[in-house]
Chains A and B, each alone.
Chain A
Amino acid sequence: MKESLMDIICCPMDKHDLELEVDDRNDEEVLAGTLVCTECGERYPIEDGIPNLLPPDMRD
């Protein structure tokens, strides 16, 4: 995901801002990391460049 996506996405549970933790990136985008809700603390993984913003009870 591009970092500019942070202006578009929010926590699916409470709509608060997310904080980006980067584990791996290239020149264009974040390939692996975590999005953390600044309010409820829920953690959403970014894998292969795709953020998984499903609510926790809908994850695989």
Chain B
Amino acid sequence: MTERERRGEPASLAERRGLETRVYQPAEDSGLLAKAAVERVSGLVLEVGTGSGWVAETVARETGARVIASDVNPHACRQARARAEGADERGGSVEVVRADLLTPFRGGTFDAVLFNPPYLPTDPENEWDDWMEAALSGGETGRKLIEPFLDDVGRVLAPDGVVLLLVSSLSGFDEVVARAERRGFAAETVVEESYPFESLSVLLLRR
């Protein structure tokens, strides 16, 4: 029995899913983002919210890009760093930074920014009490992290830089596109897959 259950509270998302409780592991969404990225990015790449580091490592290994992988979660940072050691076969590399979204990155820096955000709409009373919940929950709308990301990502892009953003129908596809367009981006869907409870898209954003 978990501490929350002893207190008579509902189980967290991670407990309900019965999964690893600290670091998000690669899933369908990770695969779609990696597929979109491997075909399109090169140079200096940032992956925000890298989790296990699988997307960052895949992109570095397949494209030879220098990938900066960031996460707010210290356990994710350590896993991503351990995984990064396999990334240098084709001259690619992964370097890990613990960060809150885009805040510690210089303006005009990246050729591409990748983000598979936490996007599950979550009851506001279901507070974030473990790292897995932080990796999954996008607040009441599902867009709690997507919106500040879109508001700041233009700052860190190099002049011809692009963004690849994974979007679930659960967090409002049209709302995400509208926010990106308000921030001066043109949005194009480059990958799309339907699943029983959601459809997942990868948006390519350019200015």
With contacts A7-B106, A8-B109, A48-B78 taken as known, whether A54 is within 8 angstroms of B100 at the C-beta atoms is yes
User: Does any Cβ of A come within 8 Å of B98's Cβ?
Assistant: yes
With contact pairs A51-B97, A52-B98 given, residues A8 and B68 touching in the complex (Cβ less than 8 Å):
yes
> Across the interface, do A5 and B104 meet the contact criterion of CB distance under 8 Å?
no
> CB < 8 Å: which of B74, B78, B99 contacts A12?
B99
Chain A residue nearest to B93 in the complex (CB): A2
A48: chain B residues at CB < 8 Å are 78, 81
Verify if A25 is at the interface (C-beta below 8 Å from B). no
Central interface residue in A1, A8, A9, A52, by most chain B CB within 10 Å: A8
How many whole Å from A16's CB to the nearest CB in chain B? 10
User: Shortest CB–CB separation between residue B54 and chain A, in angstroms?
Assistant: 17
Q: By DSSP majority rule, is chain A's interface helix, strand, loop, or mixed?
A: loop
* Most chain A CB neighbours (cut-off 10 Å) among B72, B81, B99: B99
Q: How many residues of A contact B (CB 8 A)?
A: 21
Interface size class of B (residues with CB under 8 A): 10 to 19
Q: Which residues of A contact B103 (CB under 8 A)?
A: 12-13, 53, 55
Query: In chain B, what residue has the closest Cβ to A13?
Result: B103
Q: Which residues of B contact A54 (CB under 8 A)?
A: 72, 98-100
- CB contacts (< 8 Å) of A15 on chain B: these are 106-107
- Inter-subunit contact B104/A12 (CB<8 Å): yes
Q: Give chain A residues whose Cβ lies under 8 Å from the Cβ of B105.
A: 8-10
Contacts of B77 in A (CB 8 A): 50
Q: Are B97 and A9 in contact (CB under 8 A)?
A: yes
Chain B residues, CB < 8 A from A50: 74, 77-78, 81, 96-98
In the bound complex, residues from chain B placing their C-beta under 8 Å from that of A58 are 72, 100
A5 touches B95 (CB 8 A): yes
Interchain Cβ contacts under 8 Å between A and B, 8 examples: A1-B96, A5-B95, A9-B106, A48-B78, A50-B97, A52-B74, A54-B98, A54-B99
Closest 5 CB pairs of A and B: A53-B104, A12-B103, A12-B104, A52-B98, A10-B106
